[in-house]
Amino acid sequence: MLNEDKEEITCSCAQKYQEFDGTCNRLQSPRDGSSFTCLTRLPQQSTLTNFPCWNDERLFQEAKRIVIAEIQMITYNEFLRLVVGPCYYNNFLLRTLQNGFYTAYNPNINPGMINEFTSACFRFGHSTSQSSFIEIQSSGNRTNFKLRNNFFHPFDLYNGQTELLVRGLADQLAQKSDNFIVEDLTNHLYRRRGKMFGLDLMTTNIQRGRDHRIRPFVD
Ligand code: HEM
C-alpha cells in the first residue's frame, strides 16, 4: 500500500498540487495511512490464517468484502448518524440492519453527486481536522505530531508508528464543524518539507465554488 518511490512526480495528485516533496504516494498524512492499514489488517489476518487453501483471487475478493463491510459500518452506523442527525438518519433508512439485507435499493435514483454537495456542502469536513495528532505508546505515554510537517510523508509507518497512531486516533476527537479551520490547512497545506508555507485549502474551496458556479448566499 505504501509507496516509497522517490522518482520524479508523475501521478495526477502531484500534477494538481505541486507543493509536496516528490514522494508520489496518495497518503495525505500518516493518519490516513494508519487508518487504511488498520482496515486491511482484519481481512488479512482472518483470511490468510483461516483459509490457507484459497487462491489469490478468492483471497482478494473475500478480503475486499470484509473491507467494504468495515467501511459501511463506520460510514453508516457511526459517521452519518452524527452528521445528518436522527431525523434524516431514520427517514432516509440509513440505519444498518441487525440482520437480513437492505431491500430499499432503487435503481431509478440517479446516484450522481449534486454540484453544491461536492463543491461546497460536504467540504464542511475541512473544519473538523485537528492540527496535530496524538500518538499513544503501549506504555500509555503520549506524543504528537503536526499535520503541517507530515503531508505526503507516511514513511514512519514502516517504523512502528501505525499502532501508536491508531491508538491516538481512537482516543482523539475530531474538531467541531464550524467556521474555523486549522492553520495547517490554511497556510501549510501540502507544504514541501523545509519550506515556510504551503497552499490554502479554504481559498481553494472558495475558488472551486466559483469554478463550479455555486450561487452565493446573496444574489
Ligand atoms: C486533513 C484533512 C483533509 C485535507 C488535507 C483535505 C484536502 C482536500 C483537497 C486538497 C481537496 C481538493 C480541493 C479542490 O481542488 O477543490 C479536497 C476536496 C474535498 N474534500 Fe477534503 N481534505 C481533508 C479532509 C476532508 C474531510 C474530513 C471531508 C469530509 C468529511 C472532506 C471533504 C472534501 C470534499 C467533499 C471535497 C470535494 C471533492 C470533489 O469535488 O471531488 N475533506 N480536500
Which of 195, 136, 203, 207 has the alpha carbon at shortest distance from 165?
136
* Closest ligand 1 atom to 201 CA: 10
Cell readout for 219 is 444574489
Among protein residues, the one with the nearest Cα to ligand 1's atom 24 is 126
Residue 43 has pLDDT above 50, yes or no: yes
* Closest ligand 1 atom to 28 CA: 5
Report the pocket of ligand 1 as residue ranges, CB < 6 Å.
Answer: 28, 118-119, 122-123, 125-126, 128-129, 185, 201, 204, 208
- The span from the CA of 39 to the CA of 22, in Å, is 27
User: What spacing in Å lies between the alpha carbon of 118 and ligand 1's midpoint?
Assistant: 9
* Closest ligand 1 atom to 83 CA: 30
pLDDT bracket for residue 208 (50, 70, 90) = very high
Question: Is the full-model pTM beyond 0.75?
Answer: yes
Among protein residues, the one with the nearest Cα to ligand 1's atom 22 is 126
* Closest ligand 1 atom to 119 CA: 40
- State the pLDDT at residue 23: 52
Among protein residues, the one with the nearest Cα to ligand 1's atom 7 is 201
SS (H, E, C) the chain: CCCCCCCCCCCHHHHHCCCCCCCCCCCCCHHHHHHHHHHHHHHHHHHHHHCCCCCHHHHHHHHHHHHHHHHHHHHHHHHHHHHHHHHHHHHCCCCCCCCCCCCCCCCCCCCCCCHHHHHCHHHHHHHHCCCEEEEECCCCCEEEEEHHHCCCCCHHHHHCHHHHHHHHHHHCCCCCCCCCCCHHHHCCECCCCCCCCCECHHHHHHHHHHHCCCCCCCC
Instruction: Give tens-digit pLDDT for 128-160.
Output: 999 999 999 999 999 998 999 988 888 888 888
Instruction: Give tens-digit pLDDT for 157-204.
Output: 888 888 999 999 999 999 999 999 999 999 999 888 788 999 999 999
User: What spacing in Å lies between the alpha carbon of 80 and ligand 1's midpoint?
Assistant: 17
Backbone angles phi, psi at 17, to 5 degrees: -115, 105
